[in-house]
Each structure stands twice: as structure tokens, then as C-alpha cells.
Amino acid sequence: MTTFRPAPAWLADAVFYQIYPQSFADSNGDGIGDFNGITEHLDHLVWLGVDAVWLNPCFASPFRDAGYDVSDYLNIAPRYGSNDDLARLVDEAARRGVRVLLDLVAGHTSDEHPWFRASMDDPDDHRYIWAPESCGRPEGFVASPGTRPGAYLPNFFDSQPALNFGYARDNPAEPWRQPVDAEGPRANREALRTIMDHWLRLGVSGFRVDMASSLVKDDPGKVETARVWTELRYWLDGAHPDAVLLSEWGEPEVSVPAGFHADFFLQFGGPADGLALRSLWSNGDGTVNEAWDPLDCFFDASGKGSPHLFVQAWRQATAAVGDAGFIALPTANHDFSRLNCGARTAEQLPAAFAFQLTWPALPAIYYGDEIGMRYVPDLPDKEGSVLGPRYNRAGSRTPMQWDDGPGAGFSTAPADRFYLPLDPSPDRPSVAAQRADDTSLLHLVRRLIALRDSTPELGSGGSVEVLHAGWPFVYVRGGRYLVVVNPRREEASWPFEGNGGVLEASGVALGAGTVKARGFGFGIFALDR
């Protein structure tokens, strides 16, 4: 395994919180969230116990893909404020002990980026991947919108031309392929360093990298893509040793050795294309890819699923990663359904958080999940949110619910000007209501984060021994702490000889050689020695 500088010490115990900026808090009444709104709510994150915040893309953009189509990497989109507003957010967060990470879109730009505007009129520009006119229009390519003849390769939507990091293999039938050390790929690698350096000097603590595995094309095993990130990690270790890189890759056993400090377990990537995480959370509602195999997920009231796929994938990944980095476990994100989605109800969420916050991963809480915000179905397409007949990401991007007022504390704008509609449910949860209720999900999440923080064995570095990968799910952390989780509606029990003090529990008891868990119950116990 490649030797890098050890990860910054702060990362090992970090609890991440993802903010979709346009939906978090609107400070100026235009219906769209902004940096000043986030700054105004930093104390909520501190109270909750969050260590680091990841912001979805906030750079200048035409927003055909909600900001993942960047038109200027060095300037902030006006909807969020200014570069100075971001600097103030970073400074105010740091003053409270919270780090800020930005989202880096490394593999493509907007078709309105000046780089692409120049490239579409210059046949000698190789910053993007262009097929010459003599090759016709290869499958997947988009006809040139400029005077340059030929077609370009997009990375996701047609409006997102792929930056040229080269091809791992030559193919005489595709003469547009360039090697990874050609002029265009070298310029793009240098540009990534320039962009990262700019924002790290402002005070951000690192980046979550979008589609991190998408750089080099026709790259079996992602060997050449890994080398790009290895080169960048060596640079980062020298220039900004306290900064971190988190990847949207889904294969920690590949991405961490390549140079990332951590990778997310995701619905895609990894063993069997993300089956590990989908076998935990995805219940067939909200964001469903028609090509996915149907699964019975474990956190489902019916009791059909199993954590076995997840545990198997986890063991495989952690064995490969070793001490080189970490694996992040999200509740959800801007691309996938929230925990509270479809048939899953609020009473099922405490067990999910008890698992997520006691598993040896870096937990990442998607904004609003701490109060049980639900995935809102049947919303209109918003900035490229719809990816298929049953895949609408807008349902996971609705405004944060701060209070029970008409705008939910998100914005003072008329409701028809909101970035997305509020959850119309009359019993939608709010931060204010749950702060006032010690029995709420919000208070439970806060207590679990505090327990994790005060108990190193429950963090990312503590050992885990799975005793039962079924109903209930039973495991021991650090040889001392028993965790029992029962996500199904029916009671579950398992033979267990031992007793312990209750650290946090609901509906779980030890005794008489058995651990018993009521429906949706969970328990964390300090075992007697």
C-alpha cells in the first residue's frame, strides 16, 4: 500500500453533517438558502455535537444539475452570497470547533465554463475529450455546440462535458484517446491543485469529491484514476497536511489506497454495485434505479432483510483499508432517499441512528435526518433532480424544518418562491419542537453523538465483533460495549449470557441468558467484567 502522511487526528472521531445549501436556511428572503443562513444556524450543529460540515457545490453554475455543473471554480454562486460570506462562515464555524468541507466536482464542468467555451471553438484545445468529425458521432458523445467540428464526451448530463484526464488504454478505432501524460490531462491535474489550494488557503478543511472514480476513461480497476489521486494526495500532504479528501467512490478498498482519507459506503459502487448499503436502508421508495436488483432491506418493519450483505462488504473493505483511512456511513444524501421514506415511519428511526452512531465508521448525517424529515414524493423536476421514472432526488432536498411557522423557519419568502416546497404534512417535525421534547429523535441523536464522543471504543477505532447478523442485530464494540438493534416491528430475542449497565436503550433488556428486543428497539450496554 502506498505510504502517505497519516490522516489528521481530528478525522478519526469526526461526526459529519451534510448541508444542501439552497435548502438549509434563507437569510435574505429570496426563497433560496445561503451562506449567511448556515452561519446563523451553526449553534444548532454545535449543540448536536457535529465536528465537520460538508457543503454541496456552491460555485458559480447555471444549475442544470443543482451546482454539479460548475462554471467557475474560484467564485461563489451569487444565490449563496459572496466569497467573503463563505470566508465568514468558515471562520465562524472554526471559532465553534466545526470544520467546513466543500464539494469538488473534479471530472467535469458546465458547458458554460470558460474552458469549454474556448474548447468548443478551438480544435487544438485538449482540456476536454473530443472525437473528430471524421469519427462521426460516437455513442455517448454530444454534437459540438461551437465552430469546432466533432463531438464531446459528457460525464453525466449533456451539459457536463468530461474533463480530459486521458485514457488508460489505446484503441486505434478511437483516435481521440490521449494518454494520461498528454498535455490536456496534465493541465487538468494542475488545475485541480490550483482549485484546491485556493479554497484551502481560505480556511476550508478539505473536500468531498464528486464522482471521484470518473477521471481516466477505459481504466480497468481504476488504476490510472487512482494514480491521479495519489499524486494529488502527495501534494496535499506537503502543502495542506491538516486537510482531508472524502470520495464519492463507493469502493474504500480502491479509493483509500489511492489517496483518499475516507470513502462513503453508497448505494452504488463496491461489491455488487452498492448492495451493501441498499440492503440496509433502501426500501424501494423515493430514489429507485430501475436497473437495481430488488432487495429486502434490514431496516424495514417487515423483517425480511438481513445485515449480512453489509457486514460481509464491511469486513472486505476494512481488511483492505487497514489503518490507511476510514469508511463513512451516511444516513442519506442529496442523491438518495432519506431514512424516513415511503412506508418507513418516524418510530423506526431511533434504531437506525443507534446503529449508525455505534458502528466503527465515520457517521455522516444528512441535514434534517436528525429530526426525521421525510422524503417528499411527487415533486416537480428541479435543477436536474429527476433521473428516472421512480428516481426523483428533489424529495430529499426540501427545505429544513426549523420551526412550526408557515415557512418552517427556512425563509420569509412567499411559499411559491421557495427553492422546493416544504413537506406539506401537518405533522412534519421541526427542530424547535424536538428541542423542547427530551424524548424526541433529535435529543436521542444528540445523546448518541455525545456517548460516541465520550467512549472511544464506540468510535471508528474501536473493534467490532458481530455476534448475530439477524434479528436482532447484536455486536460488541471494543470488547466492552454491547449494541442490540431490532429494526423490525416484531419482538426479537437471541441467547446471550451476560449483563451490563444501560447507556442508552429503548425496549431492549438483558437477563436470564437472553437479550430481548421489542419492535424497533435498541440498546447500548456497558458489559460487566
Q: What pLDDT does residue 83 have?
A: 98
Q: What is the pLDDT of residues 103-146, one digit of tens each?
A: 999 999 999 999 999 999 999 999 999 999 999 999 999 999 99
Q: What pLDDT does residue 292 have?
A: 86
Q: How far apart are CA 250 and CA 378, in angstroms?
A: 28
**Where among 407, 434, 454 does a domain terminate?**
454
Helix-strand-coil split of the chain, %, nearest 5: 30, 20, 50
Section 216-233 average pLDDT: 98
Any domain includes 160: no
- Packing angle between helix 183-202 and helix 83-95, nearest 10 degrees? 60
My answer on whether 101 and 131 are in the same domain is no
The CATH number of whichever domain residue 367 belongs to comes to: 3.20.20.80
The tally of domains found in the chain comes to 3
Structure pTM?
Answer: 0.97
CB 486, CB 492: distance < 8 Å: yes
Q: What pLDDT does residue 290 have?
A: 87
My answer on whether 311 and 435 are in the same domain is yes
Any domain includes 235: yes
For 308, the grid coordinates are 449480512
Q: How far apart are CA 387 and CA 223, in angstroms?
A: 29
**Where among 409, 436, 454 does a domain terminate?**
454
Any domain includes 3: no
Q: What pLDDT does residue 529 have?
A: 73
Q: What is the pLDDT of residues 152-191, one digit of tens each?
A: 999 999 999 999 999 999 999 999 999 999 999 999 999 9
Rounded to a whole number, what is the distance in angstroms from the first to the last CA of the chain? 38
My answer on whether 337 and 390 are in the same domain is yes
Any domain includes 170: no
The pLDDT confidence band at residue 11, using thresholds 50, 70 and 90, is very high
Q: What is the pLDDT of residues 341-352, one digit of tens each?
A: 999 999 999 999
Of 133-137, 148-152, 289-293, 386-390, which range is least confident? 289-293
My answer on whether 143 and 272 are in the same domain is no
Q: What is the pLDDT of residues 474-506, one digit of tens each?
A: 999 999 999 999 999 999 999 999 899 999 999
Q: What is the pLDDT of residues 499-529, one digit of tens each?
A: 999 999 999 999 999 999 999 999 999 999 7
Please, what is the average pLDDT of the chain?
96
Looking at the predicted structure, is the pLDDT value of residue 269 above 70?
yes
Task: State whether the Cα torsion 431-436-439-443 is positive or negative.
Answer: positive
In which element (H, E) is residue 509 found?
strand 500-511
My answer on whether 510 and 384 are in the same domain is no
Amino acid letter, 142 = V
Looking at the predicted structure, is the pLDDT value of residue 2 above 80?
no
My answer on whether 207 and 342 are in the same domain is yes
CB 503, CB 451: distance < 8 Å: yes
Q: What pLDDT does residue 1 have?
A: 53
Q: What are phi and psi of 314, to 5 degrees?
A: -60, -45
**Where among 454, 485, 510 does a domain terminate?**
454
Q: What pLDDT does residue 273 have?
A: 81
Any domain includes 4: no
Q: What pLDDT does residue 381 have?
A: 98
My answer on whether 489 and 359 are in the same domain is no
Looking at the predicted structure, is the pLDDT value of residue 262 above 70?
yes
The CATH number of whichever domain residue 519 belongs to comes to: 2.60.40.1180
Pairing mode of beta strands 473-477, 481-485: antiparallel
My answer on whether 371 and 450 are in the same domain is yes
My answer on whether 359 and 429 are in the same domain is yes
User: What is the Cα 301 distance to its own chain's centre?
Assistant: 25
For 15, the grid coordinates are 461526526
Q: What pLDDT does residue 500 have?
A: 93
Any domain includes 166: no
For 274, the grid coordinates are 452498492
DSSP string, 95-123: HTT-EEEEEEE-SB--TTSHHHHHHTT-T
Looking at the predicted structure, is the pLDDT value of residue 91 above 80?
yes
Full residue range of the structural domain in which residue 89 is found: 9-107+183-454
Any domain includes 171: no
Looking at the predicted structure, is the pLDDT value of residue 272 above 80?
no
Section 417-421 average pLDDT: 98
My answer on whether 246 and 379 are in the same domain is yes
My answer on whether 141 and 208 are in the same domain is no
Task: State whether the Cα torsion 368-371-375-379 is positive or negative.
Answer: negative
| Percent share of the chain, pLDDT over 90 | 95
Any domain includes 214: yes
128-136, long-range: CB < 8 A, 24+ apart: 128/152, 128/153, 128/161, 128/162, 128/163, 128/164, 128/184, 129/153, 129/161, 129/162, 129/164, 129/176, 129/217, 130/176, 131/174, 131/176, 132/175, 132/176, 135/174, 135/175, 135/176
Pairing mode of beta strands 492-495, 514-527: antiparallel
Section 390-413 average pLDDT: 97
Q: What is the pLDDT of residues 35-47, one digit of tens each?
A: 999 999 999 999 9
Which residue is it, cell 457536463?
Answer: 160
For 417, the grid coordinates are 418562491
My answer on whether 252 and 382 are in the same domain is yes
Section 286-293 average pLDDT: 89
Of 26-40, 268-282, 471-485, which range is least confident? 268-282
In which element (H, E) is residue 276 found?
helix 275-278
Q: What pLDDT does residue 163 have?
A: 98
The pLDDT confidence band at residue 291, using thresholds 50, 70 and 90, is confident
